[in-house]
Amino acid sequence: MTMQPQLSEQRAERLAERLAERASMALIDEARLTPKPGLVDGRGSGAHQDLTLTLMELSARSLQPTFHALALHSWQRPADIALRQLVGQLGREGEAQMMAATNGVNTHRGAIWALGLLVSAVAMLDGDATAEAVCRTAAALASLPDDRAPRSFSKGLRATQRYRVPGAREEAQQAFPHIRQLALPQLRRSRAAGATEEQARLDALMAIMTSLSDTCVLSRSGLNGLEAMQQGAQRVLDHGGCSTLPGRQALAQLDAKMLSMNASPGGAADLLAATLFLDGICLLTH
Ligand SMILES: CC(C)(COP(=O)(O)OP(=O)(O)OC[C@H]1O[C@@H](n2cnc3c(N)ncnc32)[C@H](O)[C@@H]1O)[C@@H](O)C(=O)NCCC(=O)NCCS
Ligand SMILES: Nc1ncnc2c1ncn2[C@@H]1O[C@H](COP(=O)(O)OP(=O)(O)OP(=O)(O)O)[C@@H](O)[C@H]1O
């Protein structure tokens, strides 16, 4: 009898360790993926003045304890207000730790939100679930009110109101449609068609960018920037994706265009990291 709780504690701890490691690694894989339009990657800082690849990697590693705590506290729990408040508190502490690690630069706020909810959801489902079920569970959590959240006004929130578009909150509350319906299917289609892993990941990023209302892009370059992003990404896929020469040429054009507009699809990058996380986890479980 006394062994039982101990054993289950060990199981929760092992799962939390694995999920935290994978979530941080997904952020590092996203940051290193090259060439991404407008974003920090192996070539440099993209459209950003204050971000570098070294800083993104440092930030990703600084978040591992946050993901670990989220998984441990969410293990086998239902989506209720108590868990929503706890997850919100851990997420805000994670943001503070990220800001401390980067000397006040916002490297991963959107990513903490998306990946944090998904890490919690996998743990709530005991580590054994499809990507679909994980996204639905994360949505249930994201849809609950967090009364302890400070009423701060962010650039992302301003963009959703000004342009009347869904943002990071809504993407999660709708169970991450850009991951489930666009990025994961594209990743698998491109792999099956013989693309390299890198090309398949870039194609998945393009799939997200064809339709996301990325508040990062909207805040930096308005509706023109968003339109350039969506149309440019569609052109890459229409040309056969990043495994083809015309696709890579369209990608280079999109990169130049986004840099000239100071546009960076940070929201799409976050969702690509979340896609890579789910792809890895669900390979392990299903
Ligand atoms: C909901 C969040 C993102 C704050 O929203 P806000 O509108 O203030 O976001 P902010 O502009 O600071 O950042 C939004 C970021 O999301 C990403 N993003 C932009 N557009 C989108 C989009 N359409 N879909 C998904 N992500 C997007 C970008 O990286 C952007 O930088 C989140 O930080 C939050 O509420 N955190 C509180 C802690 C919490 O509850 N955490 C729970 C999970 S850990
Ligand atoms: N590889 C990447 N390159 C750039 N941004 C990324 C990358 N991956 C994720 N992001 C996301 O982009 C966001 C950064 O965007 P941005 O710099 O516009 O935010 P900000 O700090 O609110 O704005 P600003 O820098 O204009 O003051 C981060 O929150 C992060 O989630």
Q: What is the pLDDT of residues 41-50, one digit of tens each?
A: 999 999 999 9
Res 1: pLDDT: 44
Q: Is 1 exposed, middle or buried (0-12, 13-18, 19+ CB in 10 A)?
A: exposed
Ligand 2 binding pocket includes 214 (Cβ within 6 Å): no
Give the model confidence (pLDDT) of 110-162 as tens digits. Answer: 999 999 999 999 999 998 899 999 999 999 999 999 988 888 888 999 999 99
pLDDT of residue 5: 76
Residue 54 lies in a domain: yes
From 109, 216, 226, give the residue whose CB has the most ligand 1 atoms within 8 Å, as the site to mutate: 109
Domain contains 2: no
pLDDT value for 8? 85
Q: Which of 107, 113, 154, 261 to mutate to test the pocket of ligand 2 (most atoms within 8 A of CB)?
A: 107
pLDDT digits (tens, 9 = 90+) for 162-205: 999 999 999 999 999 999 999 999 999 999 999 999 999 999 99
* Residue 82 forms part of a structural domain: yes
- Nearest residue CA, atom 9 of ligand 1? 156
Q: How many domains does the chain have?
A: 1
pLDDT of amino acid 51: 97
Query: What is the structure's pLDDT at 195?
Result: 98
Protein residue with least CA distance to atom 20, ligand 2: 106
Note whether residue 38 is domain-resident: yes
d(CA 192, ligand 2 centre) in Å: 31
**Distance of CA 222 from the midpoint of ligand 1 (Å):** 18
Domain annotation covers residue 190: yes
For 67-104, the pLDDT digits (tens) are 999 999 999 999 999 999 999 999 999 999 999 999 99
Task: Find the ligand nearest to 27 CA.
Answer: 2
Nearest atom, ligand 1, residue 108 CA:
29
Q: Where does the pLDDT of residue 2 fall: very low under 50, low under 70, confident under 90, or very high at 90 and above?
A: very low
User: Residue 283 pLDDT more than 70?
Assistant: no
| Any domain includes 248 | yes
Q: Is residue 3 part of a domain?
A: no
Q: Does 170 or 6 have the greater pLDDT score?
A: 170
CA–centroid distance, residue 167 to ligand 2 (Å): 14
For residue 26, give its domain range.
8-280
Any ligand 1 atom below 6 A from CB of 37: no
pLDDT at residue 57 tops 80: yes
- Examine residue 1 and state whether it is found in any structural domain, yes or no: no
The yes-or-no verdict on residue 7 having pLDDT over 50 is yes
First to last CA, the chain: 31
